[in-house]
Amino acid sequence: MKKIINAPKDVVEQMMNGMAHAHSNLVHRVGNSRVMARNYKGAGKVGIISGGGSGHEPTHAGFVGKGMLSAAIFGDVFTSPTPDQVYEAIKAADQGAGVFMVIKNYTGDVLNFEMAKEMAEADGIEVEYTITKDDVSGGESTYSDGRRGVAGTVFMHKILGYHAELGASLSDLKDIAEKVNPNLATMGLALAPATVPEQGKPGFQLGENEIELGIGIHGEPGYEKASLMPSKDIAKVIFDKLNAYLKLQKDEKIVVMVNGMGSTPLMEQYVFINDVFNLLNGVGVHVAHSYVGDYMTAIEMAGLSLTFFRLANETWLQALQAPVETIAW
The active-site residue, picked from 23, 28, 56, 286, is 56
* Catalytic residue flag (residue 28): no
Phi, psi of 214, rounded to the nearest 5 degrees: 85, 25
Beta bridge partners of 308: 185, 256
Task: Find all residues with CB under 8 Å of 297, minimum gap 6, and list them.
Answer: 55, 56, 57, 58, 59, 217, 259, 260, 261, 262
Asked if 218 is an active-site residue, the reply is: yes
C-alpha 67/C-alpha 157 separation (Å) is 9
Burial of residue 259, with CB atoms counted within 10 A of its CB: 0-12 exposed, 13-18 middle, 19 or more buried: buried
Among candidate residues 148, 151, 152, 168, the one with its CA nearest the CA of residue 160: 168
153 vs 174: CA distance, rounded Å: 15
**Catalytic option among 21, 23, 218, 286:** 218
Distance CA 17, CA 329 (A): 20
Beta carbons of 120 and 87 less than 8 angstroms apart? yes
| Residue pair 174/317 in contact by the 8 Å Cβ criterion | no
Give the dihedral of Cα atoms 196, 197, 201, 203; nearest 10 deg.
0
Give the residue numbers annotated as catalytic, written as ranges: 56, 218
